[in-house]
Amino acid sequence: MSDREKHKKHRIFRRLSRSIEAVGDSVTRRLRLSIRTRISFNYIALYTFVAGVTLLVFVCGYLVMVENQVMQSNQGVLEGIPQNVQSLTEEEATEYLSRLKEDNRFSIAAYTSENTVFYPEESPIIWYQNRKNANIVFENLPFLSMYRYQLLPKEIYTTIADGQQMLVVLFFDVSTYWHALKFFVFLLAIAYLFGLFILWTLGSFKLKRVFQPIRDITQIARETNVQNLDRRIDVSTAKYELKDLAITINEMIDRIQEGYKRQQRFVSDVSHELRTPISVIQGYANMLDRWGKKDPEVLQESIDALTNEAQNMQNLVEGLLFLARHDKETLQLDKRRFDLSEIVESIIKDCEVIDKNHVYKYAFESNSCIHADLNQIKQCLRIFLDNAKKYTPDGKNIFVRVGKEGRYAFVDVQDEGVGIAKEDLHSIFERFYRADESRTKTTGGYGLGLSIAKAIVLEHKGKIQVRTKLNEGSSFRIYLPIEKE
Could you report the per-residue pLDDT of 223-245, keeping only the tens digit for each?
Answer: 877 777 888 877 777 777 778 88
| Residue 438 predicted with pLDDT over 80 | no
| Residue 450 predicted with pLDDT over 50 | yes
How far apart, in whole angstroms, are the C-alpha atoms of residue 461 and residue 218?
40
How far apart, in whole angstroms, are the C-alpha atoms of residue 254 and residue 286?
47
CB 374 within 8 A of CB 343: yes
Q: How many domains does the chain have?
A: 5
Full 3-state SS string of the chain: CCHHHHHHHHHHHHHHHHHHHHHHHHHHHHHCCCHHHHHHHHHHHHHHHHHHHHHHHHHHHHHHHHHHHHHHHCHHHHHHHHHHHCCCCHHHHHHHHHHHHHHCCEEEEEEECCCCEEECCCCCCCCHHHHHCCCHHHHHCHHHHCHHHCEEEEEEEEECCCCCEEEEEEEEECHHHHHHHHHHHHHHHHHHHHHHHHHHHHHHHHHHHHCHHHHHHHHHHHHCCCCCCCCCCCCCCCCHHHHHHHHHHHHHHHHHHHHHHHHHHHHHHHHHHHHHHHHHHHHHHHHHHHHHCCCHHHHHHHHHHHHHHHHHHHHHHHHHHHHHHHHCCCCCCCEEEEEHHHHHHHHHHHHHHHCCCCEEEEECCCCCEEEEEHHHHHHHHHHHHHHHHHHCCCCCEEEEEEEEECCEEEEEEEECCCCCCHHHHCCCCCCCCCCHHHCCCCCCCCCCHHHHHHHHHHHCCCEEEEEEECCCEEEEEEEEEECCC
Average pLDDT over residues 322-329: 78
Residue 448: count other Cβ atoms within 10 Å of its Cβ. Answer: 23
Do both 19 and 43 map to the same domain?
A: no
Give me the torsion for CA of 226, 230, 235, 236, rounded to 10°.
Answer: -150
Confidence (pLDDT) at 439: 43
Could you report the per-residue pLDDT of 278-323, keeping only the tens digit for each?
Answer: 777 888 788 777 776 677 777 787 788 888 878 878 877 888 788 7
Last residue of a domain, one of 301, 327, 353: 327
Do both 168 and 265 map to the same domain?
A: no
Do both 51 and 13 map to the same domain?
A: no
Confidence (pLDDT) at 189: 92
Residue 223 is assigned to a structural domain of this protein: no
Do both 202 and 261 map to the same domain?
A: no
Could you report the per-residue pLDDT of 333-344, keeping only the tens digit for each?
Answer: 889 999 899 999
Could you report the per-residue pLDDT of 5-18, keeping only the tens digit for each?
Answer: 666 666 776 777 77
**In whole numbers, what is the pLDDT of the chain averaged over residues?**
80
Q: Residue 167 sits in a domain of what CATH number? A: 3.30.450.160
Confidence (pLDDT) at 441: 47
Identify the residue with better confidence: 466 or 244: 466
Do both 346 and 443 map to the same domain?
A: yes
Residue 59 is assigned to a structural domain of this protein: yes
Percent of the chain residues topping a pLDDT of 90: 16
Confidence (pLDDT) at 119: 67
49-63, 322-336, 411-425: least confidently modelled range: 322-336
| Residue 354 predicted with pLDDT over 90 | no
Identify the residue with better confidence: 160 or 105: 160
Do both 316 and 346 map to the same domain?
A: no
- 74 phi, psi to nearest 5 deg: -120, 25
Could you report the per-residue pLDDT of 92-105, keeping only the tens digit for each?
Answer: 887 888 888 776 67
Residue 477 is assigned to a structural domain of this protein: yes
> pTM score > 0.75 for this model?
no
| Residue 31 predicted with pLDDT over 70 | no
Confidence (pLDDT) at 191: 92
How far apart, in whole angstroms, are the C-alpha atoms of residue 12 and residue 251?
55
Average pLDDT over residues 384-394: 90
Last residue of a domain, one of 307, 327, 347: 327
Do both 162 and 82 map to the same domain?
A: yes
Do both 470 and 369 map to the same domain?
A: yes
Identify the residue with better confidence: 402 or 319: 402
Residue 67 is assigned to a structural domain of this protein: yes
Confidence (pLDDT) at 296: 77
Residue 92 is assigned to a structural domain of this protein: yes
Identify the residue with better confidence: 329 or 463: 463
Contacts 24+ apart (CB under 8 A), 97-101: 97/168
Identify the residue with better confidence: 224 or 125: 224
Residue 226 is assigned to a structural domain of this protein: no
Query: If pLDDT is split at 50, 70 and 90, which confidence band does 57 have?
Result: very high
Do both 415 and 432 map to the same domain?
A: yes
105-119, 131-145, 241-255, 458-472: least confidently modelled range: 131-145
Last residue of a domain, one of 210, 231, 265: 210
The listed range with the strongest mean pLDDT (32-41, 145-154, 238-247, 432-441) is 238-247
Q: Name the pairing type of β-strands 165-173 and 106-112.
A: antiparallel
Confidence (pLDDT) at 437: 47
Do both 39 and 184 map to the same domain?
A: yes
Range of the domain at 129: 74-173
Percent of the chain residues topping a pLDDT of 70: 82
Burial (CB count <10 Å: 0-12, 13-18, 19+), residue 424: middle
Do both 94 and 129 map to the same domain?
A: yes
Do both 148 and 8 map to the same domain?
A: no
Average pLDDT over residues 261-277: 74
Instruction: Calculate ∠ Cα 71-75-81, nearest 5°.
Output: 115
Confidence (pLDDT) at 139: 64
Average pLDDT over residues 355-359: 90
Q: Residue 296 sits in a domain of what CATH number? A: 1.10.287.130
Q: Residue 350 sits in a domain of what CATH number? A: 3.30.565.10
